[in-house]
Structure 1
Amino acid sequence: MTISTAPNGRHPRPHRDAQANPAEALWRRAIAEAIGAGLLVAIVVGSGIAAQRLSPNDSGLMLLENSLATALGLAVLIAMFQQLSGAHFNPIVTLADQALGARRSVVEIGVYVVAQMAGGIGGAVLANAMFSVPTSISATERATASHLLAEIVATAGLVLVIFALVRSGRTSVIGPAVGAYIGAAYWFTSSTSFANPAVTIGRIFTDTFAGIAPTSALPFLGAQLIGAAIGVALTIILFPSRKH
């Protein structure tokens, strides 16, 4: 999402995306998004199950183990797929990217979102299988007023972190920055910072430490959309010009 100068030097022309390589076939980018979202959810769910087994009587230690694995794993996944698909792994990031100037077609956006959602569900099923846990719908209710406020804050912060770095030309540090932000947001938000519809939907399919009941998932998705809109607005206000 950068702007380049036209040959006459006077009219800037927007690029489609600072991270994704549009020369790569859409199917290849979609596979990268599905794998990335799937592995992210597998990390979240799998480390949650491991934490639950290793530290069953210490919820603080369980959260530390879960958040550390997620932060490190997310940073690695972004580094791996950033130059291929943009490493969104998150419909919110795809939609925010479009709102802030990316030029994807409706078909591309739809393919990205479907791939991310499918990957998220597949990641939860994979994590369950790795730990011999049956795949079932979570019964963990999370939708309180404080949790929904936390999801708005977490999602707005995530969008702002990503696109502040994109617009200031510091895309090389997006991986570690986003990993660090999500790791921190596990602790400073009461919702433990889902901030991602693909992760939220995926976590419905595990009745474990990381699970979320369907009745809570829907309000979480609404809060994430509100947070994304706030994050986009803050990006425009604070970083009105793209890096030339």
Structure 2
Amino acid sequence: MSLPRQLLAEALGTALLLAVVIGSGVMAERLSGGNVALALLANTMATVGGLYVLIEVFGPISGAHFNPAVSAVMAWRGELPAGALLPYVAVQLVGAMLGAWLVHAMFDMTLLQFSTKTRTGNGQWIAEGVASFGLLLVILRAPAGRASAMVAAYIGAAYWFTASTSFANPAAVFGRMFSDSFAGISPASAPGFVLAELAGAALAVLVNRWLSIPAAASLPS
């Protein structure tokens, strides 16, 4: 598959993913009558379904990363050419921003805006590290043909068991900065999330490598 087609798939997939995440958050907040738990449940269900479909649709073209941390890990493993990493990340970030703007257009919101929702503190950062660690470990260890369902299921679970509601994706953080809505994150909170996500992804690579060492090789000679 040519790089331009892969980049188009990554841009479209990331834009649609952010449209699903942010759009379902806007709709859920409007319809839940102030019930935050109900809004989060609706947001979760839409994200799980949308993520699964997007991975299935774009996976054969670009790998359906939609996530700079995933692309970086794949480049480190040699599964993505090193020269493609920066273009992948660039289109993921642009796609995430466009996805936020698309939601605003659909819901008659102000197109250009920044989130004012503060998400910070040790608990939030630890949660993002855990979310990204689990996501990358699932991707690296999922049996062939089952990654899309397993990734979607994990993200759905992590919406509820992590304090941060599992962004687990620097592109998602970037896109959500541009939406002052249920799923948003303030620009001031974004760096902490991104650093925690990258740390979690790096830890997942190390753990996966350790888990993959044959038992005989791990024993002293």
TM-score, length-normalised on structure 1? Answer: 0.85
In the alignment, is residue 179 of structure 1 matched against residue 152 of structure 2? yes
In structure 2, distance between residues paired with 1:57 and 1:219: 28
SS at match of 2:65: coil
Among 101, 109, 114, the residue aligned to 2:85: 109
Among 106, 109, 112, the residue aligned to 1:133: 109
After superposition, where does 1:1-244 map in structure 2 within 5 Å? 24-106=1-83, 108-134=84-110, 135-165=112-142, 170-240=143-213
SS at match of 2:125: helix
Is the Cα–Cα contact under 8 Å of residues 139 and 212 in structure 1 kept in the other structure? Answer: yes
SS at match of 1:39: helix
Following superposition, which runs of at least 4 residues in structure 1 exceed 3 angstroms of deviation? none
Give the aligned partner of residue 21 of structure 1.
none
Is the Cα–Cα contact under 8 Å of residues 71 and 80 in structure 2 kept in the other structure? Answer: no
Gaps of 5+ in 2: 215-221
Q: CA deviation at 1:103?
A: 4.9
Is the Cα–Cα contact under 8 Å of residues 158 and 178 in structure 1 kept in the other structure? Answer: yes
Deviations 1:110-148 (A, max 9, x none): 111101111000001101111111131000000111000
SS at match of 1:205: coil
The alignment-based identity, stated in percent, is 46
In structure 1, distance between residues paired with 2:151 and 2:69: 14
In structure 1, distance between residues paired with 2:63 and 2:36: 34
Is the Cα–Cα contact under 8 Å of residues 75 and 82 in structure 2 kept in the other structure? Answer: no
SS at match of 1:172: coil
Aligned length: 213
In structure 1, distance between residues paired with 2:73 and 2:118: 28
